[in-house]
Amino acid sequence: MIETFGIKLICSKNSCLSPVVCLVVSVSCRLCLVVSCRLCLSPVCLLSSVCLLLSVCLLSSVCLLSSVSVPSTGEVVFCSASTVLKYTQDDLSQRGVFGVLLCTNFRVSFVSDEAPTEEMGQLFKNKLYGENDIPLSCVDNIYGGSEDKRKLITGGLVKNKYPSKMIIHCKDLRVFQFSLSFSKEEDAKKIFQGIVHHCLEPKSLRCLFAFSYCENTSYPEAQRKKQTVMFDSVEDWTQDMKRTKGNCRVVSENSNFELSPKLPQYFIVPKNVSDEDLTKYQGKGLPMWCWSHHSGCALFKTASIPLVQEDNVPQTYMEKMLTAVAHNHLYSVKTEDLSDTLPTVQDILLSYNRFKQFFLIDNTTEFWMSDMKWFSSLDNCGWLDIIRQCLQKAVEVVESLEKENTNVLIMEEGGSDLCCVVSSLVQLMLDPYYRTLLGFQSLVQKEWVAGGHAFLDRSNHLHLKDKVESQSPVFLLFLECVWQLQQQHGPAFQFSETYLTVLSDSIHVPVFTTFLFNNDGHRDSLLRAESPHTQRSPLNCPTVWDWSVQFDCKAQDLFTNPLYTEKPKQDTSVRKSYRPRHLRQLSLPSSAFKTPPKKGFFKDEADNLKKILGVKRLSRWMLSPSSDSPQTSSSVREFYEAWQTKPLDYHGLLLPCLDGPSIRVWMQRYLRWIHDVQILGGGPVAMLSKVSEILGEVQELQRQLDRHGCTLTSNHKGARPRAKTAAAVIAARSSVRLSSSFPFVTSRNWSFKPAIPTSLLQSLMVTGMAGNLADREDDGGPESLV
Amino acid sequence: MESCFIYSVQDMAKDVTYICPYIGALRGTLTVTNYRLFFKCMDREPAFVLDLPLGVVSRVEKIGGASSRGDVSYGLVCKDIRNLRFAHKQMEDSLRKSIFEILMKCAFPVSNGLTIFAFEYGQVYPENGWKVYDAQAEYKRQGLPNESWRITKVNDHYELCDTYPSTLVVPVNIPDEELKRVAAFRAKGRIPVLSWIHPESQATVIRCSQPMVGVNGKRSKDDEKYLQTIMDANAQSHKLFIFDARPSVNAAANKMKGGGYESEDAYQNAELVFLDIHNIHVMRESLRKLKEVVYPNIEESHWFSNLESTHWLEHIKLILAGALRIADKVESGKTSVVVHCSDGWDRTAQLTSLAMVMLDGHYRTIRGFQVLLEKEWLSFGHRFQLRIGHGDKNHTDADRSPVFLQFIDCVWQMTRQFPAAFEFNEYFLITILDHLYSCLFGTFMCNSEQQRVKEELPKKTVSLWAYINSQPEEFTNPLYVNYSNHVLFPVVSMRHLELWVGYYIRWNPRMRPQEPVHQRYKELLAKRAELQKRVEELQREVTNRSASSSSERAGSPTRSITPVQTFV
């Protein structure tokens, strides 16, 4: 350990990309620079040119970083280039700002030469990265451009070649355009190759920033534990089962992954599943409990066992599992193979890739051109239809639980993609607890994190070639569905649209353990291996729910929905005393053995024990044809209509309307960075700020009443004002100055000029339309033809 | 609301089947009065009721002869995006015929030489709605007349232009004689007159009809001088923008019929811009397609493509984009603008009134919007009678067109983008559209101010505004924030335009929200009012007590009371 002039060089054996020397630069709290040097033996090779650059850049970087807001410790600058021009995104005028472009182990960062402007944008500042920073895992595509051509860069670069212009598309839909033609050739080459290397080439999980971040950040763990139920202990699972009055068995034998590293650490299975059943097919076919309905029936999910025709063993096993789900035949069971009826993860990826292109806008002209065919493009990419299908499937499951009181077992190949989507949606629709902010976070923990959704493979942060196939925005799809529900039933949700948008961005910030691993076992082994103190506790990393890592308290106020209707009688221990308001039946399985009301979509397994066990029958549901889907849709329709005629209860069952116009585009997430569609002085924030203002007044009045020692006697069942909401944050500012991109874009760049379509308006008009109409005179009668 | 009026029940039939596209066949009683059609089915809980003003009916048609089961039916095609279908048993043929005939008679009084119901409706409201708009008062609000602009009486008896209002604002320097010469050069005598003036920059919005240029490129010195004067009246800019609402091809084609557009040679300092908005026939066809797509059921799978194929939102986009460019020139460019189409009563009315909604917060209030409609649409001669076809059975009339509906749709799009900038709510806009067709109020009768005066509408009919202003709370947006002079620039990208589900798809029960969101805002406001009241009461009590106690024990410190905040 060497220390010179406030520069500290640390050599350690630990993981770092380069085979030569890396420089770790960070700013300590006293703002003196700490430069750590590491030798690293990782087999992943960095281009030597980039490494050489590092030493060259050292001095300039040191000066530089002192002016950058460095959010976190453990950050390594790989390379940098000065006099890079960043185009202001939305015009073709080639205007922009000059500055320094850096690539670190956490982000690509642009530091403007102009003095940073301190203004209201700071309200919703992300502490980890600023508006000119792109976390490496947030980089979606890089294009090299020269003049008007642009080419997708896929890594594997030709030496000494670099484009004059670099366009970066981010996963949070920002678009950056940099011109490298003003920088020194050597610098430009290195920064380009460095960025491409670190953003696109395969790397090891250890190189993700989370590990250096966590090693260098002390982080209070106790605080989080109290809030979100993490489902990382027997207690959490037991409590959730008790809360929903489930009657199953908590399995804790895998707490050290002795049973299987692929099984969750803790999970719940039907009572009749024996110990030896647990590991029979590596957890495949094992019904995992998700949630219990108040009628006593429950939702289970499982990874399906590939069926080998000649071999009866898996079938026998499945029969046994089904019987277990049927709870000794107290309930009927419906099974649903999601692989047959919902799009595959590849379909989801393809559709999303088409969809996102509508929002990754390089320039205004392109934007207005695409505006003409906007609606048909939406249809053609199919993304909204996938959302609709997922919601519809969830409604079908809800119908079985709520109306028919049957147990439902959903399955798919891995059991952790669409199963997670559908099971979480079902729970959101049925259980108001999950519509609270903490409840929602618990739901994600339960179904996605503990449920073993392969976040790492699905995001392919590591750019591994063999994982390209498995990449898919499944979790984003889930958030999209939640957004649709929230859009339709706003007051039922405690969290806001902004919360969902921020959560969708956080997937690509490689700091949170929530999204870095494929399952419990994976997480555990890596965190243990990476721990600086071997033999002791695993590395302590923040989860995404530690929002204070990203946002200060004020900004976090925007996560709550001011119009949320709290339960009229709020118990302090919501989780324990939860009892659904729409409770109409006893918790006893009253519907046991009842014949199913109609031929539904699900294969009905249950009213007869013999039938369940019949191999023939079983293999039939295994093949589960989807021929009767029109019928389903009409059944779902009826179910929705029946629900719709009942008075709305925000703490009861919620169903989404699935008709064409009801499924919308998540404007805040997708349009926030596009200048031409920002509504200045309008958008949802205009409403939000007014509501906040009224709420503030109501609170003030309430306080005055309290001060007079008087409590309001009337039990007004409407909005009970929450303590501190977004009110305080926004009310102070006149909403006239805010835009529909609130809170993501600041008003600094506003030209108060409206965006006027640049395309030839005429050209969009109606080619195939009855042309003679267009040529006619305004006034129909010939008498008016002057 | 019209309980006390002369509804003569024209016919009543029991055991009629209403074939509802959503619920299915419903059996009940059908009543037809001279105002409405009323169907009630008691079999359902709650009872199913259909209540339809006959003015909404566009056409009545018999459907087929006798079906296999002996039913005969007839359908009503309505102007408000729905169709109704009724059926009877065949043996009641005489009855069916009578209902059909009654419907033909009562739904189309004009075609049958009867009076429209508005003339019989005599409900008394606290306010006389016909007094909502007073041209003089409105121009005074805008600061007119001033040193550059005067109010002329030249059209007092509609002699200069029979489709214009009697009160017109023109440049001070142009005497009435010259106005007459300008009128000769403008289609239908609709000369350029002021619609709106910017309170600070004095830039103006001027409306008129097309110049009578013709194939030979005729010029009028008077017209050229007139526009120059309009430009000069605004010291801030040495330019004048002429917005021709039509596609340039159509504008050019008009030359064949004597019309055309201003050439930039003749009008120096003027820049001509075409806004590419299509004519009334294209719009009518677009709405017809839209109805096909949304009524009765929506095809789920290709919703957006189907919507796109109607082009309805593209037209909305073009109209809004045109108005936006006008508003931008006036506000940001401080330049006066002249707006015209062919006759200046359809697209021109859409553009000037929308630009005025963007520019002037007054028009975003409930009463201000009424003034705007009275001024830009009614007094400037949008031909409501022809475009809507009140009481006229000729449903194929090529003069019918949803021009006004498009305007209201554009306003609705703006309320979506600026949810706190309008004093009125969605229900207000829907109510206006419902009574555009209902023939209950006199407001949308006739084609021009002259006709309205002649028909003595203010004397003989009730104004829609009387009804609306008798219960403003129904139409108030609880989240209204008065931005006063803030200019609204809506985003005219398709990304932000959406189909007005609450109007076009309102008959589909699945699309109906269970609890309108504004209900919750209202609750919130009620809560605030309730708390305010209680605080005030307590305040009074405390003041009383402290007053009495201080008199008893003078000098003892009384608790300081925070003054109650008052909220606007």
Above 90 in pLDDT, residue A94? no
Selected residue with higher pLDDT from B268 and A500: A500
* For testing contact with chain B, the best of A395, A778, A783, A785 (most B CBs within 10 A): A778
Selected residue with higher pLDDT from B506 and A754: B506
Contact: B298, A701; criterion CB under 8 Å: no
Facing residue for B257 by CB, picked from A680, A698, A785? A785
What pLDDT does residue A626 have?
A: 38
Facing residue for B535 by CB, picked from A705, A719, A757? A705
Contact A764, B321 (CB under 8 A): no
Range scoring the smallest mean pLDDT among B145-149, B510-514, B559-563: B559-563
Residue B243's φ and ψ, nearest 5 degrees, are -100, 115
**Amino acid found at B324:** L
First to last CA, chain B: 32
Give the three-state DSSP class for A164.
Answer: coil
Contact: B278, A765; criterion CB under 8 Å: yes
Q: Which residues of A touch B317 (CB under 8 A)?
A: 757
What pLDDT does residue A776 have?
A: 73
Contact: A374, B495; criterion CB under 8 Å: yes
Task: Round to whole Å and give the CA distance between A220 and A218.
Answer: 7
Contact: A735, B501; criterion CB under 8 Å: no
Chain B (459-498) residues lying within 8 Å, Cβ to Cβ, of chain A: 479, 481, 483, 486, 488-496, 498
Partners of B150 in the β-ladder = B170
What pLDDT does residue A44 have?
A: 29
Both tokens of A292, joined, read 């219990």
10 Å Cβ neighbour count for A345? 24
For the segment B356-391, what is each residue's pLDDT rounded down to a tens digit?
999 999 999 999 999 999 999 999 999 999 999 999
Above 70 in pLDDT, residue A117? no
Read off the pLDDT band of A747 (50, 70, 90): low
Question: In a 10 Å sphere around its CB, with 0-12 CB exposed, 13-18 middle and 19+ buried, how is residue B416 labelled?
Answer: middle
Element (H, E) at B11: strand B9-20
- Nearest chain A Cα to B276, which residue? A762
Q: Which of A140-149, A715-724, B290-299 has the highest mean pLDDT?
A: B290-299
Annotated ligand binding at B254? The verdict is yes
Residue A210's φ and ψ, nearest 5 degrees, are -50, -40
What pLDDT does residue B294 have?
A: 94
Annotated ligand binding at B346? The verdict is yes
Above 80 in pLDDT, residue B549? no
Annotated ligand binding at B345? The verdict is yes
What DSSP character marks residue B300? S
Instruction: Determine the average pLDDT of the residues in A402-408.
Output: 91
Facing residue for B527 by CB, picked from A716, A765, A779? A716
Task: Round to whole Å and give the CA distance between A67 and A60.
Answer: 11
Range scoring the smallest mean pLDDT among A97-101, A202-206, A461-465, A718-722: A718-722
Q: Which of A121-135, A485-499, A586-600 has the highest mean pLDDT?
A: A485-499
Facing residue for A736 by CB, picked from B486, B521, B538? B486
Selected residue with higher pLDDT from B372 and B30: B372
Contact: B531, A705; criterion CB under 8 Å: yes
What pLDDT does residue A116 have?
A: 65
What pLDDT does residue A13 have?
A: 30
* For testing contact with chain A, the best of B23, B81, B190, B282 (most A CBs within 10 A): B282
Contact: B511, A661; criterion CB under 8 Å: yes
Contact: A679, B418; criterion CB under 8 Å: yes
Instruction: Determine the average pLDDT of the residues in B309-338.
Output: 96
Instruction: Determine the average pLDDT of the residues in B552-561.
Output: 38
For the segment B453-470, what is each residue's pLDDT rounded down to a tens digit?
999 999 999 999 999 999
* For testing contact with chain A, the best of B310, B491, B525, B537 (most A CBs within 10 A): B491
Range scoring the smallest mean pLDDT among A149-158, A219-228, B82-91: A219-228
What pLDDT does residue A43 have?
A: 27
What pLDDT does residue A700 have?
A: 85
- Nearest chain A Cα to B383, which residue? A779
Annotated ligand binding at B341? The verdict is yes
Task: Round to whole Å and give the CA distance between B81 and A492.
Answer: 32
What pLDDT does residue A779 have?
A: 55
What pLDDT does residue A566 have?
A: 79
Task: Check CB contact of B411 with chain A, cutoff 8 Å.
Answer: no
Above 60 in pLDDT, residue B68? no
Task: Round to whole Å and give the CA distance between A268 and A401.
Answer: 19
What pLDDT does residue A369 have?
A: 86
Selected residue with higher pLDDT from A533 and A753: A753
What pLDDT does residue B526 have?
A: 82
Q: Which residues of B touch A648 (CB under 8 A)?
A: 514-515
Of A466, A422, A420, A468, nearest to A445 by C-alpha is: A420
* For testing contact with chain B, the best of A704, A769, A784 (most B CBs within 10 A): A704
DSSP string, A66-131: TTS---SSS-BEEEEEEEEEEEPTT-SS--EEEEEEEEESSEEEEEESSPPP-SGGGGG--SS--T
Q: Which residues of A touch B303 (CB under 8 A)?
A: 379, 659-661
What pLDDT does residue B510 have?
A: 87
CA distance A644 to chain B (A): 7
What pLDDT does residue A680 have?
A: 87
Partners of B171 in the β-ladder = B149
Long-range contacts (CB closer than 8 Å, 24 or more residues apart) made by A516-519: A516/A205, A516/A208, A516/A210, A516/A455, A516/A456, A516/A461, A517/A455, A517/A456, A518/A452, A518/A454, A518/A455, A518/A456, A518/A457, A519/A261, A519/A262, A519/A264, A519/A416, A519/A452, A519/A454
Share of chain A above pLDDT 90, in %: 36
Give the three-state DSSP class for B55.
Answer: helix
Give the three-state DSSP class for B63.
Answer: strand
Above 80 in pLDDT, residue A92? no
Read off the pLDDT band of A709 (50, 70, 90): low
Contact: B300, A658; criterion CB under 8 Å: yes
Range scoring the smallest mean pLDDT among A19-33, A509-523, A631-645, B158-172: A19-33
Share of chain A above pLDDT 70, in %: 69
Above 90 in pLDDT, residue B394? yes
Task: Round to whole Å and give the CA distance between A280 and A269.
Answer: 14
Selected residue with higher pLDDT from A312 and A78: A78
Selected residue with higher pLDDT from A339 and A38: A339
Contact: A764, B521; criterion CB under 8 Å: no
CA distance A349 to chain B (A): 20
Exposure on the CB side of residue A656, measured as CA atoms within 13 A? 30
- List C-alpha distances in Å: A231 to A234, A352, A530: 8, 30, 23
What pLDDT does residue A702 have?
A: 83
- Nearest chain B Cα to A659, which residue? B300
Partners of A333 in the β-ladder = A407
Facing residue for A690 by CB, picked from B259, B317, B420? B420
User: Residues 6 or more apart from A528 whose CB is under 8 A from it?
Assistant: A538, A539
What pLDDT does residue A39 have?
A: 34
For the segment A725-746, what is each residue's pLDDT rounded down to a tens digit?
444 445 445 666 788 888 888 6
Contact: B300, A388; criterion CB under 8 Å: yes
Task: Round to whole Å and give the CA distance between A759 and B326.
Answer: 17
10 Å Cβ neighbour count for B204? 28
Contact: B308, A694; criterion CB under 8 Å: no
Residue A356's φ and ψ, nearest 5 degrees, are -65, -25
Instruction: Determine the average pLDDT of the residues in B315-323.
Output: 97
Above 50 in pLDDT, residue A612? no
Annotated ligand binding at B256? The verdict is yes
Facing residue for A661 by CB, picked from B398, B501, B509? B501
Above 60 in pLDDT, residue B131? yes
Chain B (241-270) residues lying within 8 Å, Cβ to Cβ, of chain A: 247-250, 253-254, 257-259
Above 80 in pLDDT, residue A409? yes
Contact: A371, B511; criterion CB under 8 Å: no
Selected residue with higher pLDDT from B258 and A707: B258
Range scoring the smallest mean pLDDT among A16-20, A437-441, A507-511: A16-20
Above 90 in pLDDT, residue B334? yes
What pLDDT does residue B65 have?
A: 62
- Nearest chain B Cα to A370, which residue? B494
For the segment A236-276, what is each residue's pLDDT rounded down to a tens digit?
999 999 999 988 999 998 988 888 888 899 999 998 888 88
Catalytic residue among B161, B341, B410, B446: B341
What pLDDT does residue A158 have?
A: 65
Read off the pLDDT band of B242 (50, 70, 90): very high
Contact A762, B275 (CB under 8 A): no
Facing residue for B304 by CB, picked from A375, A710, A755? A375
- pLDDT, chain A, mean: 75
Which domains does chain A show, CATH number per domain? 2-68 (no CATH), 77-201 (2.30.29.30), 223-665 (no CATH), 671-753 (no CATH)
What pLDDT does residue B130 have?
A: 96
Contact A539, A214 (CB under 8 A): yes
For the segment A492-524, what is each residue's pLDDT rounded down to a tens digit?
999 999 999 999 999 999 889 899 999 888 888
Above 90 in pLDDT, residue A559? yes
- Nearest chain A Cα to B344, which residue? A778
Long-range contacts (CB closer than 8 Å, 24 or more residues apart) made by B513-517: B514/A644, B514/A647, B514/A648, B515/A648, B517/A490
Element (H, E) at A372: helix A364-372
Contact: B399, A779; criterion CB under 8 Å: yes
Range scoring the smallest mean pLDDT among A87-101, B1-15, B90-104: B1-15
Range scoring the smallest mean pLDDT among A191-195, A347-351, A622-626, B22-26: A622-626
Task: Round to whole Å and give the CA distance between B300 and A391.
Answer: 14
Facing residue for A660 by CB, picked from B248, B298, B523? B298
Question: In a 10 Å sphere around its CB, with 0-12 CB exposed, 13-18 middle and 19+ buried, how is residue A505 labelled?
Answer: buried
Both tokens of A125, joined, read 């500042």
Task: Round to whole Å and give the CA distance between A79 and A159.
Answer: 17
Task: Round to whole Å and give the CA distance between A168 and A161.
Answer: 18
For the segment B190-238, what is each residue's pLDDT rounded down to a tens digit?
999 999 999 999 999 999 999 999 999 999 999 999 999 999 999 888 9
Above 50 in pLDDT, residue B127? yes
Task: Round to whole Å and give the CA distance between B537 and A727.
Answer: 27
Question: In a 10 Å sphere around its CB, with 0-12 CB exposed, 13-18 middle and 19+ buried, how is residue B252 labelled?
Answer: middle
Instruction: Count interface pairs A-B at CB distance under 8 A.
Output: 258
What pLDDT does residue B164 have?
A: 97
Task: Round to whole Å and give the CA distance between A375 and B497.
Answer: 10
* For testing contact with chain A, the best of B299, B341, B527 (most A CBs within 10 A): B527
10 Å Cβ neighbour count for B206? 29
- Nearest chain A Cα to B187, which residue? A786
What pLDDT does residue A698 have?
A: 83
ipTM score assigned to the predicted complex: 0.90
DSSP string, B200-261: TT--EEEEE--B--TTTT---HHHHHHHHHHHHT-TT-S-EEEEE-S-HHHHHHGGGGT---
**Amino acid found at B540:** R
DSSP string, A573-631: -HHHH---TT--S-SS-TTTTPPPSS--SSEE--S-HHHHH-HHHHHHHHH---TTHHH
Q: Which residues of A touch B341 (CB under 8 A)?
A: 778
Facing residue for A775 by CB, picked from B253, B479, B538? B253
B208 is catalytic: no
- Nearest chain B Cα to A677, which residue? B491
Q: Which residues of B touch A786 (CB under 8 A)?
A: 187, 212, 257-259
Task: Check CB contact of B564 with chain A, cutoff 8 Å.
Answer: yes
- Nearest chain A Cα to B188, which residue? A786
Range scoring the smallest mean pLDDT among A45-49, B150-154, B392-396, B514-518: A45-49
Contact: A779, B517; criterion CB under 8 Å: no
Both tokens of A576, joined, read 């324990």
DSSP string, A438-504: HHHHHHIIIIIITTT--HHHHHTTT--GGGGGG---HHHHHHHHHHHHHHHSGGG-SB-HHHHHHHH
Cα-Cα-Cα-Cα dihedral sign, residues B41, B47, B48, B54: positive
DSSP string, B481-511: ---TTPPP----SGGG----HHHHTTT-GGG
